[in-house]
A = this chain, B = another copy of it.
């Protein structure tokens, strides 16, 4: 049975890396001793080793060890043999390029379908949607495609940000960007605020955390849904 956590962010303001999720992760990874970490998104351009070490420290708090996928000779094999998978945040373009280059998209899809628990944060959540077209990241490299894992039948917008009242900046708000997305695409988009996540258990999709999420459907006015809502209606 599929078991996936799709989190808006790894870190909420004022607390440590993954802290707000650790309790949930203890349950999510209850049958897992070692987690395979995929550090490809390299936030701020840090090295795979440094990123893996940060993640390792967080998971040690709940008694899990962590190994980076870059430590394995064969990335696809590493995914196939993983007890649990975590894809961290950073730059979605870099992440997706590396996933294609190392031919691990299909192995991740297979493993997760077969029940390997998956956690994504930020960029690692973006790729759980149908495409990465609703990432907030800068396109610093050119990936071979924007198609992603499609664990859910819609797109994710992590770090969802409400328009800033009184802003004098003329750049587009997040809502305008997603409206532009719907001029060319028709799948729904969920704007996940920092601190929210989607829990996927088999066919059941639930919004978790304390906040509402914002739903953008094609040709509809955007609207809010309450936490603990069932998201199965979104497709």
Which of A's residues lie within 8 Å of B, judged by CB? Answer: 9-14, 42-45, 90-91, 93-94, 132-142, 145-146, 159, 161, 168-172, 176-185, 194
Which of B11, B45, B135, B159 contacts A139 (CB under 8 A)? Answer: B135
* B183, A42: Cβ atoms closer than 8 Å: yes
Give Cα A185–Cα B132 distance, bound, in whole angstroms.
Answer: 21
Q: Is the interface of A mostly helix, strand, loop or mixed?
A: loop
Q: How many copies does the complex hold?
A: 2
Chain B positions within 8 Å of A181 at CB level: 138, 140
Chain B positions within 8 Å of A141 at CB level: 133, 184
Q: Given A139-B146, A170-B11, are A180 and B91 neighbors across the interface (CB < 8 Å)?
A: yes
* A138, B134: Cβ atoms closer than 8 Å: yes
Give Cα A161–Cα B169 distance, bound, in whole angstroms.
Answer: 8
Chain B positions within 8 Å of A14 at CB level: 168
Nearest CB of chain B from residue A150's CB, rounded to whole Å: 16
